[in-house]
Amino acid sequence: MDRLLAMQTFVRVVETGSFSAVAREQSSTQSAISKQVAGLEKYLGVRLLVRTTRAVTTTEDGLRYFEETRRLVAEIGEAESELRRGERALSGLLRVATSVGFGLRVLLPHIRSFMRNNPDVIVDLRLDDGFVDLIEQGIDVAVRIGTLGDSSLVARRIATSQRMLVAGRKYLEQLGPEQSAPQIPQDLLQHSCLLYTELGTRNQWEFSTADGSTVSVRVHGPLLTNNSEALRSCLRDGLGICYIPDWLISDLLASGEVIELMKDWLVKPIPVHLVSPAARKHSAKVRAFGDHIASILSSPSQPS
């Protein structure tokens, strides 16, 4: 039995709560993963996990062993990374997560350049606008946009994302003679607004003026979506007005399909962070990827 591999497997089974999830991660079978854990239990002479048809939970011994083993596996990974750094090219799997729109329109080109510089690294890119549990899904590093909640994750702020108020040209062209484009935040109450449900403020949109005064309005509209690409498509089709990151619609602004509104009113930018589980913060791949992305996104010439 490869005891280190069995320990790593046991840690991931506890973190994910699933033998099948770990089997997918290791390109193995559920039976093989189960045998690794069973072999570890036999070696230790204790039962580590309780397996049922619905869940996998730790025994009291298993929980104590998990807490120590997770620390030990992380320390071994850190030691190996230190030895490998500078001695040979980076290699192996790097799991990266971010939102759909940001991943497709901002991050992907820079992932390609990272891969060109590190041809032995395999990037597993996960795109999801919803909440992703980095530990449960085995993610090495995520790019998250917005204010972070308190957690055990290690965060590094690398940029800001500028938002703006916009409408599709089609929407503005179909307004009746009694209705005009909004000039002040309160005017939005008379318009159809498109709502992104993954935004923390959802339908509470906040604006400020150059003198620092702020106005917040609770808007409404015909569409709510948790997908940024769907939001962009509906905006382009003229369904309403949107409070949206500039990088998601920069090409539509350039083509004139989307028009910026209320330019005298400022929209507060939101931070962009690189986030990793604490156990992966010393990974050479995570560090190299983070430095690569941070150097690009912090450049003034890049989409903010």
* pLDDT tens column, 38-72: 999 988 999 999 887 777 888 988 888 888 888 78
Q: Provide the whole-model pTM.
A: 0.71
- Structure token digits, residue 45: 């002479």
- 194 vs 145: CA distance, rounded Å: 19
Task: Give residue-wise pLDDT tens across range 220-235.
Answer: 999 999 999 999 999 9
- Give domain status of residue 267, yes or no: no
Give the pLDDT mean for 20-39: 88
Give the pLDDT mean for 144-161: 85
CATH number of the domain bearing residue 43: 1.10.10.10
CB-based contact 145:270 (threshold 8 Å): yes
* Lowest-pLDDT choice from 71-85, 127-141, 281-295: 71-85
Q: Are residues 151 and 276 in the same domain?
A: yes
- Give domain status of residue 302, yes or no: no
Residue 292: name the closest of 145, 87, 112 by CA: 112
Q: What is the pLDDT of residue 96?
A: 95
Does pLDDT of 78 surpass 90?
A: no
Does pLDDT of 202 surpass 80?
A: no
- 164 vs 267: CA distance, rounded Å: 6
Residue with tokens 């596996």: 73
Give the pLDDT mean for 97-115: 93
- 65 vs 37: CA distance, rounded Å: 12
* Lowest-pLDDT choice from 15-24, 80-89, 158-167: 80-89
Show the domain range for 255: 163-260
- 164 vs 166: CA distance, rounded Å: 6
CATH number of the domain bearing residue 153: 3.40.190.10
Q: What is the mean pLDDT of the chain?
A: 87
Last residue of a domain, one of 54, 84, 114: 84
Q: Are residues 168 and 253 in the same domain?
A: yes
First to last CA, the chain: 50
Task: Give residue-wise pLDDT tens across range 251-271.
Answer: 999 999 999 999 989 888 889
Q: Are residues 183 and 242 in the same domain?
A: yes
- Give domain status of residue 183, yes or no: yes
CB atoms within 10 A of CB 1: 12
- Give domain status of residue 265, yes or no: no
> Where are the extended beta strands (E) located within 128-175?
141-145, 154-161, 163-168
Q: What is the pLDDT of residue 11?
A: 87
Rounded to the nearest 10°, the torsion over CA 238, 239, 242, 248 is -60
Q: Are residues 249 and 229 in the same domain?
A: yes
Give the pLDDT mean for 2-7: 88
Is residue 290 packed enough to be buried (19+ CB in 10 Å), middle (13-18) or exposed (0-12)? buried
CB-based contact 34:42 (threshold 8 Å): no
CATH number of the domain bearing residue 175: 3.40.190.290
Residue 49: name the closest of 12, 100, 87 by CA: 12
Q: Are residues 168 and 252 in the same domain?
A: yes
Q: What is the pLDDT of residue 56?
A: 86
CB-based contact 191:243 (threshold 8 Å): no
List the Cα angle 151/156/159 in 5-degree steps. 125
- Give domain status of residue 304, yes or no: no
- Give domain status of residue 68, yes or no: yes
Give the pLDDT mean for 70-82: 70
Does pLDDT of 303 surpass 60?
A: no
Q: Are residues 170 and 205 in the same domain?
A: yes
Element (H, E) at 218: strand 214-218
Does pLDDT of 149 surpass 90?
A: no
Q: Are residues 230 and 285 in the same domain?
A: no
- Give domain status of residue 44, yes or no: yes
Give the pLDDT mean for 77-96: 69
Does pLDDT of 102 surpass 80?
A: yes
Give the pLDDT mean for 73-91: 65
Last residue of a domain, one of 53, 84, 115: 84
* Lowest-pLDDT choice from 116-125, 144-153, 218-227, 240-249: 144-153
The band of 304, judged by pLDDT with boundaries at 50, 70 and 90, is very low
Q: Based on the structure, what is the number of domains in the chain? A: 3
CB-based contact 132:275 (threshold 8 Å): no
